[in-house]
């Protein structure tokens, strides 16, 4: 409700409020005179009130009440002076007054709701019950006590007094207040782009904005909470709104045209972001359409604000292209070309959009080049628009007239020529203008036919560009190719020395001219040389540059490590050889990098350089041997063995590797010589003695083998392996008595060695002297109770000789007590039941289950379970569980293959046998089963390939139940591995 304007004006003279509407309760001059008839009644009532008060109050009170009485009846204001009309008017007013007061009187028997409300006691409400007509003085006296209590009100209570409610305007005021709080303003485009450049906001509308910015909004949420805590119910929202308007105006005022470049860059970012969002789906959704419409408005504003900014025109056109509005896009680009004629990018965009109209494109490129004659991109675009070779040459020559120092244009011009003399002529002209261009020099070098001319070109190039490593590398490549093409007696080492000399000279010139190529870049160049089959150049580069500035890297690594140690509180003072370790680690990283790219020559060159620096690093020598062995560096591997032994003669593994390599290549004499030298250097090394003995016995030089064994027993008196090898060889040669004598000597020296008792029992078993055999095993059990093999052999002898299954089973149970949870004894116990109680499958199954409870990860026990699967429905679950528990043990893979073969699934059986062989090539049974399968169902080519692989790995075969059993038999002593393969396969077929 609007406030009337006259209410703020000064009241006119003589104005009395309320007199115009007949207000009562106060006297005016008009009441005296013409309204005299009303005075007696008023005085009469006052006299009654005065009479009642005189009975209760003092004379002082009576005097005070007289102050409130009207004029006396007598005198000038006497009622006797009133005429008839005045009295009639007074009577009318008196009746009106009486009626108004009667309306406030409550009837005594009234039951209405309003009556009940009026009868409420003053204690329960603030209302005052009016039973009789009272004057203004009576009402005033009733509120005197409440007025006195106002003196006790505190300041807080006074401030918290509620305002009187305006019910008629309350909802409107609340709505206006809410609108003022939610008031927002449309931010101009210039402010959006400016804030974007300042990383102040992201104006891209993203449907997933809340999820992406959840972490970023945490700090903002904290600020909002702080502001909320500062605001209370007395916040002046109008002031807050006006302040926000002022801040917005200040930001708009601060924006100027100096931010044009930043805005143009942000428009590209905005457009790429928009493009990525739109391309997520083939069809435009509502969100994408809204984004496009908003972006149109933004770039329209940017074009108006800065019409000479190319980015705005290009971005606007791209938006239209995304919306498939190609006409609008072309129109925008044409406008942009008219306004920004000297910008090459907008011309390119316009041409690319009109590629379907080749004539128009040529016109546009002509106009564009007239304004931008120095633009390489536009000249190349003009070149690409031409289809004829003649026109291409014409365009390139015109471009060279404008850009005669541009290398790319010269290279294109040279490539357009098919005649070498013409190319050479163009290259000479180009190098006259651009003598520092390495690419042009190398292009001129490539078209030369004569070696002398090539050398001269490279020499002139290196003089012109002495800081170019590319030219130096080409010089080395040229020398390598020339020296190998000439069929002379120049050795590989001589060629390497020549190339190394050339490279060293050139490398010193590079350093003088401050060539900044890093160690990693040199490594990549070496790898490229290897890929081009320039192996010696690759090695030269590695030898010269692999440690370039490596000290700085080592210092950085050591500093970082020390800082970590200090932070962790683990500071160590042992700095001995720390630098060497770090250098080796860095070079090892380079080796891994080259090896991962299959650059084996580069990898080998790095390892050779490391062992050259640190010849006693055994691990690096081993890595080098493995690399050369696996990647067929056969011509160099012998030198590696020799050098490793030269610098590390105490490492027996190097001697053994060298001897084995010679033995594999049928160089028996050389292998024997190596082992003899090794025995001289390391006379107490057991492995070298055993290798020498194996070499002689495998090649049927038994006398030499026995002689070596005799010397070894004297040199290594307490070595059980030497004694056992001597006993086994004598037994295999049929010298049982000699073997028994050696056993007696060995038992005296080593009474706790179980192999003596095992060999003694086997000798008597071969002689069919089972009683002595049992005595030998019994003696072995007494001295070596923790040997599972003795318990197993003793049980077998009892089963075989005495036919006492119960005692044999009991012996295995005793063996399990002495050798708790031994896998071999459990397997033998199961096999015993299979051999003698095959019909009772339930007993065998329960025994296998019991064994698996004790040894759940035993591959041998799971293998037996797979062989005794009752139902095919159980097969898959058992096989999967076995593979899981044993982690794909090759024995399990072999058992699965056997099961598949017995089930007639040949292809699956073959695949399982191959998997087992690939997991472990030392298991002979895997080879035997695969040979059985191929022999019966394989092709000739498959069998030939099998034997190639078998001969390659036959010396590694040492395991397998059936294989070892056949190898230990005396009659198979001199059998080769191929012959033994045939024997074992026949045994499996017969079983």
- The domains of the chain are located at 908-990
CA distance 507 to 547: 14
Would the pLDDT of 46 be above 50? no
Report the C-alpha dihedral over residues 276, 281, 285, 290, rounded to 10 degrees.
10
Position 169 confidence tier, pLDDT thresholds 50, 70, 90: low
Q: Are 730 and 738 in contact (CB under 8 A)?
A: yes
Would the pLDDT of 45 be above 80? no
Tell me the per-residue pLDDT of 527-576, one tens digit each, with 9 for 90 and over.
999 999 999 999 999 999 998 888 888 777 777 766 666 666 554 544 54
Amino acid 164: pLDDT = 61
Residue 773 Cα distances to 749, 763, 768, 769, 877, angstroms: 21, 8, 9, 6, 44
Q: How far is CA 207 from the centre of its chain?
A: 25
Percent of the chain surpassing pLDDT 90: 41
Amino acid 742: pLDDT = 92
Q: Are 916 and 890 in contact (CB under 8 A)?
A: yes
Amino acid 617: pLDDT = 92
Average pLDDT over residues 222-229: 43
* Segment holding 265, helix H or strand E: helix 260-278
Dihedral over Cα of 793, 798, 800, 804: its sign: negative
Residue 423 Cα distances to 231, 411, 452, 957, angstroms: 82, 10, 19, 65
Average pLDDT over residues 672-682: 93
Burial of 248 (0-12, 13-18, 19+ CB in 10 A): middle
Mean pLDDT for all residues in the chain? 79
What length does the chain have?
991
Amino acid 718: pLDDT = 84
Amino acid 376: pLDDT = 92
Q: How far is CA 810 from the centre of its chain?
A: 60
Residue 697 Cα distances to 326, 677, 693, 976, angstroms: 89, 19, 6, 12
Would the pLDDT of 182 be above 90? no
The token pair that represents 188 in the structure block: 């101009």
- 716 CB contacts (<8 Å, ≥6 apart)? 684, 686, 689, 722
Among 987, 869, 985, residue whose Cα is nearest residue 926: 985
- Provide the whole-model pTM: 0.62
Which carries the bigger pLDDT value, residue 561 or residue 361?
A: 361
Quick one: DSSP state of residue 801? I
The token pair that represents 881 in the structure block: 């569980």
Q: How far is CA 661 from the centre of its chain?
A: 45
Least confident of 374-378, 381-385, 416-420, 909-913: 416-420
Residue 846 Cα distances to 74, 840, 841, angstroms: 141, 10, 9
Would the pLDDT of 960 be above 60? yes
Would the pLDDT of 167 be above 70? no
Would the pLDDT of 976 be above 90? no
Burial of 743 (0-12, 13-18, 19+ CB in 10 A): buried
**Span between the terminal Cα atoms of the chain, in Å:** 115
Q: Is 923 helix (H, G, I), strand (E, B) or coil?
A: strand
Burial of 896 (0-12, 13-18, 19+ CB in 10 A): buried
Tell me the per-residue pLDDT of 238-257, one tens digit each, with 9 for 90 and over.
555 556 556 655 655 555 44
Residue 973 Cα distances to 81, 811, 924, 964, 977, angstroms: 170, 31, 16, 12, 11
Average pLDDT over residues 758-770: 91
The token pair that represents 181 in the structure block: 């709080």
Tokens 């080769």 -> residue: 976
């Amino acid at each position: 409700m609007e406030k009337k304007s006259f209410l703020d004006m000064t009241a006119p003279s003589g104005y009395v409020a309320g007199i115009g509407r007949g207000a009562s309760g106060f006297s005016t001059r008009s009441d005296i005179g013409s309204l005299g008839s009303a005075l007696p009644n008023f005085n009469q009532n006052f006299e009654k009130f005065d009479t009642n008060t005189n009975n209760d109050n003092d004379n002082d009170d009576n005097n005070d009440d007289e102050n409130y009485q009207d004029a006396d009846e007598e005198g000038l204001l006497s009622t006797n002076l009133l005429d008839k009309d005045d009295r009639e008017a007074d009577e009318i007013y008196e009746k009106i007054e009486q009626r108004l007061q009667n309306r406030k009187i409550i009837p005594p028997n009234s039951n209405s709701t309003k009556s009940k409300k009026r009868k409420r006691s003053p204690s329960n409400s603030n209302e005052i019950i009016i039973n009789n007509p009272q004057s203004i003085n009576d009402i005033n006296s009733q509120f005197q006590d409440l007025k006195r209590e106002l003196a006790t009100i505190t300041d807080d209570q006074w401030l918290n007094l509620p305002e009187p409610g305006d019910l008629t305007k309350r909802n409107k005021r609340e709505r206006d207040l809410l609108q003022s709080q939610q008031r927002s303003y449309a931010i101009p485009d210039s402010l959006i782009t400016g804030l974007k450049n300042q990383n102040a906001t992201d104006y891209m509308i993203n449907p997933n904005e809340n999820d992406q910015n959840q972490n970023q909004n945490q700090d903002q949420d904290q600020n909002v909470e702080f502001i909320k805590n500062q605001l209370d119910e007395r916040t002046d929202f109008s002031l807050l709104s006006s302040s926000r308007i002022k801040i917005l105006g200040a930001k708009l005022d601060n924006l100027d045209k100096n931010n044009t470049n930043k805005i143009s860059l942000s428009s590209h970012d905005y457009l790429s972001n928009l493009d990525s969002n739109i391309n997520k789906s083939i069809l435009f959704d509502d969100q994408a359409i809204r984004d496009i419409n908003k972006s149109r408005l933004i770039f329209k504003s940017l074009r108006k604000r800065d019409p000479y900014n190319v980015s705005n025109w290009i971005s606007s056109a791209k938006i239209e292209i995304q919306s498939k509005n190609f006409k609008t896009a072309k129109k925008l680009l044409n406008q942009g070309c008219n306004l920004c004629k000297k910008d090459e990018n907008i011309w390119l965009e316009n041409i690319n959009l009109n590629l379907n109209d080749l004539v128009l494109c040529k016109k546009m490129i002509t106009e564009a080049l007239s304004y931008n004659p120095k633009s390489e991109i536009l000249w190349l675009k003009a070149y690409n628009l031409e289809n004829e070779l003649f026109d291409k040459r014409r365009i390139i020559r015109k471009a060279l007239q404008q850009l005669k120092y541009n290398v790319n244009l010269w290279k294109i011009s040279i490539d357009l020529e098919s005649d070498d003399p013409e190319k050479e002529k163009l290259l000479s002209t180009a190098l006259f203008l651009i003598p520092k261009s390495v690419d042009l020099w190398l292009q001129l070098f490539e078209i030369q036919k004569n070696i002398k001319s090539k050398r001269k070109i490279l020499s002139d190039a290196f003089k012109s560009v002495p800081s170019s490593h590319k030219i130096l590398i080409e010089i080395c490549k040229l020398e390598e190719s020339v020296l190998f093409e000439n069929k002379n007696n120049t050795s590989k080492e001589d060629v390497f020395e020549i190339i190394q000399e050339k490279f060293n000279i050139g490398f010193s010139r590079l350093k003088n001219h401050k060539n900044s190529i890093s160690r990693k870049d040199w490594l990549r160049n070496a790898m490229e040389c290897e890929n081009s089959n320039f192996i010696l150049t690759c090695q030269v580069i590695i030898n010269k540059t692999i440690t370039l500035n490596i000290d700085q890297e080592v210092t950085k690594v050591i500093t970082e490590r020390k800082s970590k140690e200090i932070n962790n509180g683990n500071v160590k003072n042992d700095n001995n050889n720390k630098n060497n370790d770090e250098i080796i680690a860095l070079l090892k990283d380079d080796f891994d990098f080259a090896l991962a790219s299959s650059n084996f020559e580069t990898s080998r060159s790095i390892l050779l350089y490391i062992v050259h620096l640190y010849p006693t690093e055994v691990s690096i020598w081993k890595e080098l041997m493995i690399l050369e062995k696996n990647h067929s560096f056969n011509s160099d591997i012998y030198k590696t063995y020799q050098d490793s032994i030269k610098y590390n003669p105490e490492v027996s593994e190097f001697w053994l590797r060298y001897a084995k390599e010679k033995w594999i290549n049928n160089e028996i004499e050389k292998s024997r010589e190596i082992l003899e030298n090794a025995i001289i250097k390391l006379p107490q090394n057991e492995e070298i003695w055993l290798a020498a003995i194996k070499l002689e016995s495998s090649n049927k030089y038994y006398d030499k083998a026995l002689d070596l064994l005799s010397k070894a027993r004297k040199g290594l008196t307490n070595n059980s392996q030497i004694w056992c090898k001597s006993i086994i060889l004598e037994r295999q040669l049929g010298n049982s008595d000699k073997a028994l004598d050696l056993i007696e000597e060995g038992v005296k020296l080593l009474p706790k060695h179980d192999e003596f008792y095992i060999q003694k029992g086997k000798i008597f078993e071969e002689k069919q002297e089972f009683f002595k055999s049992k005595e030998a095993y019994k003696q072995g059990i007494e001295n070596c109770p923790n040997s599972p093999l003795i318990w197993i052999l003793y049980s077998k002898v009892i089963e075989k000789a005495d036919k006492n299954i119960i005692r044999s089973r009991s012996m295995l149970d005793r063996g399990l007590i002495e050798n708790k949870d031994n896998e071999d004894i459990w397997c033998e116990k199961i096999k015993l039941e299979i051999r003698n109680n095959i019909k009772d499958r339930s007993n065998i199954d329960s025994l296998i289950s019991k064994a698996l409870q004790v040894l759940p990860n035993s591959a041998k026990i799971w293998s037996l379970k797979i062989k005794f699967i009752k139902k095919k429905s159980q097969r898959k679950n058992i096989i999967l569980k076995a593979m899981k528990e044993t982690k794909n043990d090759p024995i399990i893979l072999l058992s699965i293959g056997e099961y598949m073969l017995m089930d007639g699934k040949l292809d699956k059986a073959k695949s399982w046998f191959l998997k087992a062989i690939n997991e472990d090539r030392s298991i002979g049974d895997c080879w035997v089963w695969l040979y059985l399968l191929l022999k019966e169902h394989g092709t000739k080519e498959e069998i030939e390939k099998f034997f190639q692989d078998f001969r390659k790995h036959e010396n590694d075969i040492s395991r397998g139940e059936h294989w070892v059993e056949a190898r230990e038999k005396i009659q198979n002593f001199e059998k080769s591995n191929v012959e033994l393969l045939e024997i074992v396969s026949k045994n499996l077929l017969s079983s």
